[in-house]
Copies of this chain bind each other. A is one copy, B any other.
Amino acid sequence: MEFPSFMEILDFIGTFAFAISGIRLASAKHFDLFGAYVVGVVTAIGGGTLRDLLLGVTPIWMTNPMYLVCSGIALLWVIIFGKRIIRQEVTFFIFDTIGLALFTVVGVEKALDLNFPLWVAVIMGTITGAAGGVFRDVFINEIPLIFRKEIYAMACIIGGICYGLLDWFNVDIIINECVTGLCVFLVRLLAVKYHLGLPTLKGEGQE
């Protein structure tokens, strides 16, 4: 067993936070332990899985059991802390945003490595970061949150464009990863702090 790299630790934190969000929402809907675990897993790895299917490669979680183990730890966490988890709200928001930032970087780089153009890479970064939450909401039978509230996926898109710009100027890849990640993190942080959201279209009252 090797000591995990910095990126792997961030990946673990992101997976953990995403799984926690799925498990908590599933619990609120009275899912059983298995159902809550599945929703947690899907939230954590759903985005990466869709990305890998679109890119035509084997989904990342099928090559490394870490993601499922990590989601299992998240399940234990929710069981142990129960309602007291609400007090950890800020911590999980930070973890979740770290996950969003890291997943975006990973998604963008994976698409570029496979020689897709930048605009595809930006979308893959966004899918990696945001699609898991969409699957979660479909499973718990809610309208996906990211389509209605706050800036979430937009942070991934802005981060992806940032990555492309820095790459264009031949900025060192490690620096690029850090700046892009920080960019996603800050956009999301500021959006939540100042309740920034995109405007809503005037509906036609078709409902």
Contact = CB atoms under 8 A, between A and B. Distances in A.
B34 A198 contact: yes
A36 interface: yes
A44 interface: no
Given A58-B56, A143-B141, A147-B39, A201 B116 contact: no
A154 to B, nearest CB: 6
A204 B85 CA distance: 9
Interface stretch (A2-10, A18-26, A180-188): A18-26
Interface stretch (A76-84, A95-103, A161-169, A171-179): A76-84
A207 interface: yes
Interface residues of A, number: 60
Nearest to A41: B123
A202 B83 contact: yes
A29, A149, A201, A204: which has the most chain B beta carbons within 10 Å? A201
Interface of A: 23-36, 38-39, 49, 53-54, 56, 58-59, 62, 65, 68, 78-79, 82-83, 85-86, 116, 119-120, 123, 134, 138-144, 146-149, 153-154, 197-207
Of all A-B residue pairs in the complex, the 7 with the closest CB atoms, nearest first, are A35-B147, A27-B201, A32-B198, A28-B206, A28-B203, A33-B198, A31-B147
Given A35-B146, A39-B147, 11 more contacts: A23-B201, A27-B200, A30-B203, A31-B147, A31-B201, A34-B153, A36-B201, A54-B58, A62-B116, A83-B202, A138-B138
12 contacts: A25-B206, A26-B147, A27-B200, A28-B206, A29-B143, A31-B148, A32-B148, A33-B201, A36-B147, A49-B54, A83-B202, A141-B143
